[in-house]
Amino acid sequence: MTIAVRFSAASCLGSAGEPLLAPLDVELPVGEALVLAGGGMSGKSAALAMCVGGLTPASGRVEVLGVEPSRLSAGPLNDLRRRIGYVPQRGGLLANLDLRANIALPLRFHLGADARATAAGIERVQALLGIEPLPALLPAEATLLMRQVASIARALVLGPELLLVDEPDSGLDGVAAEEIWRLLWRVQSTTGVTILASAANAAAASPLTARALTLVGRSDMAFRLIPGLA
| Residue partners of 90: CB distance under 8 A and separation at least 6 | 144, 147, 148, 170, 171
Chain centroid offset of residue 210 CA: 18
Alpha-carbon gap, residue 37 to 5, rounded angstroms: 16
- Over the stretch 184-224, which tens digit does the pLDDT of each residue have? 999 999 999 999 999 999 999 999 999 999 997 654 444 45
CATH architecture of 1-83+162-169+194-218: 3-Layer(aba) Sandwich (3.40)
pLDDT of residue 90 exceeding 90, the answer is: no
The pLDDT value recorded for residue 82 is 93
pLDDT tens per residue across span 140-158 = 999 999 999 999 999 999 9
pLDDT at residue 17, as a whole number: 83
Residues 99 and 31: their CA atoms lie apart, in Å, by: 28
Domain boundary assignment for the chain: 1-83+162-169+194-218, 84-159
**Per-residue pLDDT, 221:** 46
Cβ(200)–Cβ(188) below 8 Å = no
Give 39's pLDDT tier (boundaries 50, 70, 90).
confident
What is the distance between the alpha carbons of residues 35 and 224, in angstroms, rounded to a whole number? 32
Arithmetic mean of pLDDT, 61-73 = 97
Q: What is the pLDDT of residue 60?
A: 96
Q: Is the dihedral of CA 29, 104, 152, 127 positive or negative?
A: negative
184 Cβ partners below 8 Å, 6+ apart?
33, 152, 163, 165, 168, 195, 197, 207, 208
Contact residues for 110 (Cβ-Cβ < 8 A; gap 6+): 82, 158
Predicted confidence (pLDDT) at residue 78 exceeds the cutoff of 80:
yes
Q: Which of 91-100, 118-127, 214-223 has the lowest mean pLDDT?
A: 214-223
Which one is predicted more confidently, 228 or 67?
67
Greater pLDDT, 73 or 230: 73
Query: To the nearest whole percent, how much of the chain has pLDDT over 90?
Result: 80
pLDDT value at 24 more than 80: yes
- Kindly report whether the global pTM for this prediction surpasses the value 0.85: yes
Which DSSP string do the residues of 70-99 spell out, in sequence order? GG--HHHHHHHHHTEEEE-TT----TTS-H
pLDDT of 218: 58
